[in-house]
Chains A and B, each alone.
Chain A
């Protein structure tokens, strides 16, 4: 079959790879209908997560049709139209049974790497390096889905593929930031980043009752999209002082909850960006935490900062003093998608949540390398490129 493979730093190509097979009785094989580019893929492509092998298939956010089921699969059958959670959860370890699915104990087949780096291994994720289990990704004609009874969700009638696609990863990630960030009625919430995850975090905050939600970015198309489809206020950080603007809009307090949806390749203006770029390129720090620093400084005393963006290792000049002296709660997580996906599909069916606008471009698998380049450079107004292997 054809698949989009990582061939080296900033090098993608469409290659022939073996068809997936059932490796366990609880697996299914899914024929891809659509997948999407994700900002976290850029960290892999750029070599910031150094656990990729040439030939690895990337992609983790997808919908498709089940074409083969293992003998122990109970909740699915051939022909089911499914959205699949990007993280694989076994459904029965302590973490899965406590709705902390991305921390699953049994789905990362290379646990020693995560344990050496982080002190504990995460669950497995499709197409996201050998540190995260080495599973093949979804930018292919077919993909194997382990523990499918827990990670594949039948798409309800009335929800189209384009809307369901983003429920695989970006919508639950955003929702989790607002939910575990503790957003409650009356709060003022600030969200850094107007990509798909940031937009969904902002929408979740609104649906959870926040009084005001303010989103921060620099790309005009994304700011406009966030205002129009999400209903959030926006700040263009290239034309104003974000900290001063947030203080002015929050009565001098600062936001109650700050959600960072940017990640390890954050962009900013000013000398700190240059400093972070140099340190990251020299591998003196692995990640650029620009937006996290800003969120920590902007947050009100006693507030919460939730880190949704993907970070891989160590950062420099982290304002720990502000965390302590302002009494902040700092949280983060990879996404516990299985916890939210059924509820999110219901909300989309009910018209409370719009996701299809995120799909600004649609391409074939052969066009995927070009689509990732466009996505990386945010050219042509690209927010997400949908990759359709069957076309």
Chain B
């Protein structure tokens, strides 16, 4: 493998390690209790009702708790959600997140989509197809991109 490609692959691995560190950082949450996932929406608190949330969140029904509060300093409205039932923790959580099976990924994505719908009326979709041909490095980036909607520090 040419040195340039090796360096590029090394950069990808380093980035992957950074993302993994972010993933594993969540291991330290209190046992039995999920942390609230929160977004701030640029709208008046009166415009957000717990029973009338946008469809992506409404679809979770009674499986989630919802908390809606005004954001300080005229910054809009904070929407916080979390599962009522405990979710995978520790090593199970890491494996679930890497494989895309952690329910919190779906909830995180739904929260982002709900914010987008409340603010803009639509969820911006990526261009398709994402690329015309794949390489091993491209597949890795593709995997990271697919996970990215449900991951992050939210």
Contact = CB atoms under 8 A, between A and B. Distances in A.
Per DSSP, chain A at the interface is loop
Interface of A: 5, 8-10, 15-18, 20, 23-26, 47, 50-56, 72, 88, 90-94, 97, 105-107, 109-117, 119-121, 124, 130, 133-136, 144, 146-147, 281-283, 286
19 contacts: A9-B4, A10-B4, A23-B124, A23-B128, A26-B122, A52-B141, A53-B130, A53-B135, A53-B141, A54-B133, A105-B116, A109-B125, A109-B126, A110-B144, A112-B19, A115-B154, A146-B124, A281-B7, A286-B11
B15 interface: yes
A17 to B, nearest CB: 5
A47 B19 contact: no
Interface stretch (B48-56, B85-93, B145-153): B145-153
A50 B120 contact: no
A25 B145 contact: no
B153 A119 contact: yes
B127 A136 contact: yes
Nearest to B39: A105
A50 B15 contact: yes
B98 interface: no
B138 A53 contact: yes
A94 B138 contact: no
B7 to A, nearest CB: 6
Nearest to A6: B131
Nearest to A51: B141
Choose among B128, B144, B145 the residue with the greatest number of A CB atoms under 10 Å from its CB.
B145
Contacts of A146: 124
A97 B132 contact: no
B7 A47 contact: yes
Interface string B42-62: 100000000000000000000
Contacts of A124: 124
Contacts of A121: 152
Interface residues of B, number: 50
Contacts, number: 159
B119 interface: yes
Contacts of B137: 53-54
A54 B138 contact: yes
Contacts of A115: 22, 151-154
B82 interface: no
B67 interface: no
Given A53-B135, A113-B145, A120-B153, A133 B42 contact: no
Nearest to B121: A72
B131 A54 contact: yes
Contacts of B148: 109-113, 130
B32 interface: no
Contact of A94 (B76, B112, B122, B147): B76
Given A112-B150, A115-B151, A50 B122 contact: no
B102 to A, nearest CB: 12
Contacts of B12: 50
Given A20-B127, A113-B144, A283-B10, A94 B4 contact: no
A92 B42 contact: yes
A71 B121 CA distance: 13
B36 interface: no
A55 B142 CA distance: 12
Contacts of B126: 23, 109-110, 133-135
A117 B153 CA distance: 10
